[in-house]
Structure 1
């Protein structure tokens, strides 16, 4: 329960490209110890040829299994299917975009970067060749190496599919800028964050749930409880 006696929202954590629900394993125990209920999903585009709509369906199914309000936390690519899904969800009270793609209708991850849609969008985007400095530069070396070893190829279609809905137009949102990010440049994050109602910044690389789970959990708790905007 929150300080005013109302039920706390559930936190639904949605991972980014190449990752899986395993990436939250350092964060969820911290949140759970503070009384927060957490849920995670595995997006099918990581490891299969699934599309944004398939990922969005998984998010919607997870939301349907949760009673009460939900704060959805989307990391990186996860912002794309979350944005699509939340437009059709009734129980989402807040969106948190963590170094994430807060796209609008008619945009795709590739179009955001000015890249053309591939002539043959089938197939996979391989795991980046140097994932540790890209994703986990400030994480403990052993944790970073272990995480890099769990990455899988990502569906190319998930990067080229355009959104047909954008839930942040009707659901309040907060953007968390990772100021030392090597994967999605902070300047790009700042531009995306203009679409959110509030912005917070954390002195981390792309994956603060791995590099500073305690500090990030505190920030998330503040956002979800309304005390951090």
Structure 2
């Protein structure tokens, strides 16, 4: 086990913003962790760029920390993290929280067997019911608040492909959210097979909102056990 406690770098998913991590960050603070949350440029009121721009934002935050880092990626956030962390010696562990742990040449669309659209420089709307997909175990009031904070998302981020994924050279843990309605559990399990270790959490897609205490404790276990 590494003796120096790392900073946890938190990377949000599509349509979300860094503030979605606030509840979890408060619990990690209680446990004595320093945290930072990346602001991905493809998601927000002025959404721009593609997955490589998100990866650049992740690399910038890792460089700013200036010490050992464990990166925690949620949902889409796993894609730019896999792209960004390759070759960065300060990144000690990757945690994919119901996240896309993609391999070489894969994009979110290709992983789901969806063909690339002709036009990618557009915003992609949320399909279906975000209450059910993202926030199934939140109270109605908390879910309404979370939905009100969803942002625009660039389509290009979903079709850009990973080059050399960081998890091939950096140890990783996949956290399967067993009640997830956004990324089906069988698909999570398929990606979890790529990770060094696998943990499971009985939660919907957003345990940082619905189960922050339990998630913080699980992350502490993962950090403590990292090689």
Q: TM-score, normalised by structure 1?
A: 0.95
Structure 1 counterpart of 2:79: 80
- The secondary structure found in structure 2 opposite 1:125 is coil
- Alignment check: 8 A CA contact 1:49 1:157 kept: no
Structure 2 counterpart of 1:21: 18
Once the 2 structures are TM-superposed, how far is the Cα of residue 5 of structure 1 from its aligned partner?
A: 9.3
Structure 1 counterpart of 2:130: 131
Equivalences for 1:54-93 in 2 at 5 Å?
54-93=53-92
Distance 1:151 1:128 in 2: 13
Structure 1 segments of 4 or more deviating over 4 A? none
- The secondary structure found in structure 1 opposite 2:150 is coil
Uncovered stretches (5+) of structure 2, i.e. residues with no partner: none
Q: Does 1:11 align with 2:23?
A: no
Q: Does 1:40 align with 2:37?
A: yes
* Number of positions where the alignment pairs a residue of Structure 1 with one of Structure 2: 225
Equivalences for 1:195-210 in 2 at 5 Å?
195-210=194-209
Once the 2 structures are TM-superposed, how far is the Cα of residue 68 of structure 1 from its aligned partner?
A: 1.7
RMSD: 1.4
- Alignment check: 8 A CA contact 1:71 1:93 kept: yes
Deviation sequence 1:125-159 (CA, Å, 0-9, x none): 11334211110010122221111101012111000
Structure 2 counterpart of 1:141: 140
Q: Does 1:213 align with 2:212?
A: yes
Structure 2 counterpart of 1:155: 154
Distance 1:89 1:51 in 2: 21
Distance 1:139 1:23 in 2: 13
Distance 1:125 1:34 in 2: 37
